[in-house]
Amino acid sequence: MASIPRFMIAAPSSGTGKTTLTLALLSAFNKRGLSPVSFKCGPDYIDPMFHKAVLGIPSYNLDLFFTPEDTVRGLMCEHAAGHGIAVIEGVMGYYDGSGTGTEASSYALAAVTNTPAILVVSAYGAFLSIAAAIKGFMDFRADSHIAGVILNDCSKHLYEMLEDTLERETGLPMLGYFARLEDCSIESRHLGLITAGEIMNLQQKLDRLGEEAEKCLNLDLLLKIAASASFIEGNLDYIELSFSIKPRIAVAQDAAFCFYYADNLTLLERYGAEIIPFSPLHDCVLPEGVSGLYLGGGYPELYAQTLSENEPMLQSISQAITSGLPTFAECGGYMYLHQSLEDNSGTSYPMAGVVEGRSYKTGSLQRFGYIHLTAREDNVLCSAGDTIPAHEFHYWDSSVTGGVCAARKPNGQEWPCVAATRTLFAGFPHLYFYGNPKFAENFVRAAAEFNMIQR
C-alpha cells in the first residue's frame, strides 16, 4: 500500500489541450523540486516522449485494456515510489473507452486508481454554457472523480469574469486558466503529434509552459487535491530470471524507430536481458555479441531512403535473422523487414527482405484500435493458443498478411496477422508485455539459448 499524491488531466474530447497542460504542470512541478513522475492513460507512444523531455526520466503507460486492474495499480505504485507527485494524462474524451462504453477510458483509470480528475474545458465561444458542460460530465457517473476544472483557450480577463459563476453553478473549484500560446504549439502528422526529438528549441518551449502554469494556475490548490488521493496498492505478476551470461538484445532506437513502452524494456531486463540500443539509420552493423533483436514502431516511412541507402545495416540484419537471431518486430519494424517500403510520397525503396512482400501507403488508418491476439502456431514469443492484448495504429499496410496469429477486435471483427517462426515474430500489432509477461520471458529465453549456441 502506498500514499501517492496524484491527479489526472482529463478533457471532454481529444484536441482540448491535455498534453499542453500536462507538460506545463510537469515543468512547473519539476522547477519546484517536487520530483514528479508522469503516466499516460492508454496505448499512446508520443505523449510519453514529451513527458520524458520535461522530466528526463521515462513516462509510463497505464492501460486497462492491456492489463488487469491490480497490475495497473501495481505499476503505478512501483513507478511513483520516491516521487513527490504523479501526473496522469488522460486519453480522448474522459468517458471514451475501448468500444462504445467506458472500458479502458480515462474515467475507468481514475476509478480503478481512485485518482482525482481535473477537467480541462475550452472557454472559447461560451460563458454560462461552460457550467452546463461541466455539470454534464460530473453527473454522467455518480463517481465521476472530477475534482476541479482548468479553463483552456481563456484570457485572464475572461477567467476573472467566469470564475465565481462557474464555481457557484458547479460546486467545483476553478484551478486557473491557460491561454493559447502559439509559439509553444506542437504540430501533428498522420500518427498524431510530431515527436519530441523533432522540435527545435523544445526545452525553451517547455520552460515557457511551466512559467505560464505558475502564473495562471492555482498550483497550491492542485497539490492539495493531489494529496487528498487515498492509499493505493497493487501487485505485479512476474518472476525475475538470471543467466550466467546476460543475453544482449539489440533495440533499434532512433528517429525512425522510437515507439517503445518503457515497461516492455524494463520487463525484458527483469527477465535477465541487457538492452543494447542501436540505430538502423546511422550504424553500419548490429552491435557485437547480441543474441536478440527488437525492432519497434515509429516512422520508417519518413526515412525510407536513408534506411535503404544504409545497405551494410540492412545486410547485417537480414543475415542475422536468417541465421536464427531471435527477433521481435512490430509495426514500423515489421515494415522495415519487407522487401520494399514506400515513403510518404509513394516512392518505393528496397529494405531488409526478410519478409517477402512490400509495405505501402494506404492514405487511411488500417485496422485501428485495440485487439486480442491468439497464436495459431508455436513461435519465438508464445505457444499455439496463447493470447495477449495488443493495439494497431498505422496508415501503411503490407502485401503479406501473415497468419500465425488471429486478431480480434472488441466488436468481434477478426483477421489473420503476424509472420512468425521459432525465431521471428513480426507484424503490425504493438504488444504490451505486461498483458502476458510470458511473451517477454520467452523472448529472453530464446535470446539466452541463441547466446549459448553461438558460444
CA distance 45 to 49: 7
3-state secondary structure the chain: CECCCEEEEECCCCCCCHHHHHHHHHHHHHHCCCCEEEEEECCCCHHHHHHHHHHCCCCEEECCCCCCHHHHHHHHHHHHCCCCEEEEECCCCCCCCCCCCCCCCHHHHHHHHCCCEEEEEECCCCCCHHHHHHHHHHHHCCCCCEEEEEEECCCHHHHHHHHHHHHHHHCCCEEEEECCCHHHCCCEECCEECCHHHCCCHHHHHHHHHHHHHHHECHHHHHHHHHCCCCECCCCCCCCCCCCCCCEEEEECCCCEEECCHHHHHHHHHCCCEEEEECCCCCCCCCCCCCEEEECEECHHHHHHHHHHCHHHHHHHHHHHHCCCCEEEECHHHHHCEEEEECCCCCEEECCCCEEEEEEEEEEEEEEEEEEEEECCCCCCCCCCCEEEEEEEEEEEECCCECCEEEECCCCCEEEEEEECCCEEEECCEECHHHCCHHHHHHHHHHHHHHHHHC
Q: Tell the burial category of 300 from Cβ atoms under 10 Å away from its Cβ (0-12, 13-18, 19+).
A: buried
Please say whether the beta carbons of 391 and 343 come within 8 A. Answer: no
Please say whether the beta carbons of 320 and 292 come within 8 A. Answer: no
Q: How far apart are the first and last CA of the chain?
A: 45
Q: Which of 49, 42, 37 is nearest to 7 (CA)?
A: 37
Q: Which residues are catalytic?
A: 331
